[in-house]
Amino acid sequence: MVLIDTSVWIALFRKKDHEVGQKMLSLIAGNQAAVCGQVWVEYLGGFRKEALRKVHGAALKHFPFLETGRGAFELAANWLADHPPLGAGDAIIAATAMVNDAALLTLDKDFLPLQKLGLELF
C-alpha cells in the first residue's frame, strides 16, 4: 500500500499531466493508492467552493483509507519534536504511513530525514 501525500493530489489537480501522474496510475491500477484523514482534510479543505469539495471528496472515497490511531499520533509527536520543519500535518501523514506499513508518495522534501527512521518513500 502507498499513502498518497497531499502534495501529489495538489500537483495533479493543478497540472493533469504532471510527471507524478504515471506513478499514480500504476498504483491505482494495482489498488495500492491510499488516503488518510490528514490528507483528506488538507486536500479537500483547500477547495473553497463546495461543488469542488464534493467532486474531489467523492473521488477520494474510492481509495483505501488508512486509519490514524494513537500509535501514529505518538510517533508523529516524536518526529515533530526532532524535525520541526516537518510541521504537524506532515508528521501525522508520515506516521500514519509508517504504522500502516505503507510507503509514502510525496513531492515534499521535508519527509526525506524520516527515511533514516524507517519511513519508506515511494
Looking up residue 66, the CATH number of its domain turns out to be: 3.40.50.1010
**Residue 96 domain-assigned (yes or no):** yes
- pLDDT attached to residue 62: 94
**Residue 71 domain-assigned (yes or no):** yes
pLDDT in tens for each of the 122 residues of the chain? Answer: 999 999 999 999 998 888 888 888 889 889 999 999 999 999 999 999 999 999 999 999 999 999 999 999 999 999 999 999 999 999 999 999 999 999 999 999 999 999 999 999 99
Q: What is the pTM of this model?
A: 0.93
What's the rounded Cα separation, in Å, for the pair 58 and 113? 33
User: Which sign, positive or negative, has the C-alpha torsion 16, 63, 108, 49?
Assistant: positive
- pLDDT attached to residue 80: 97
- pLDDT attached to residue 102: 98
How many domains is the chain partitioned into structurally?
Answer: 1
Pairing of the two strands 65-66 and 33-36: parallel
**Residue 109 domain-assigned (yes or no):** yes
- pLDDT attached to residue 21: 83
Question: Which residues span the domain enclosing 65?
Answer: 2-117
**Residue 40 domain-assigned (yes or no):** yes
Which residues touch 61 (CB under 8 Å, ≥6 apart)? none
**Residue 122 domain-assigned (yes or no):** no
What's the rounded Cα separation, in Å, for the pair 25 and 31? 10
- pLDDT attached to residue 23: 86
What's the rounded Cα separation, in Å, for the pair 40 and 117? 25
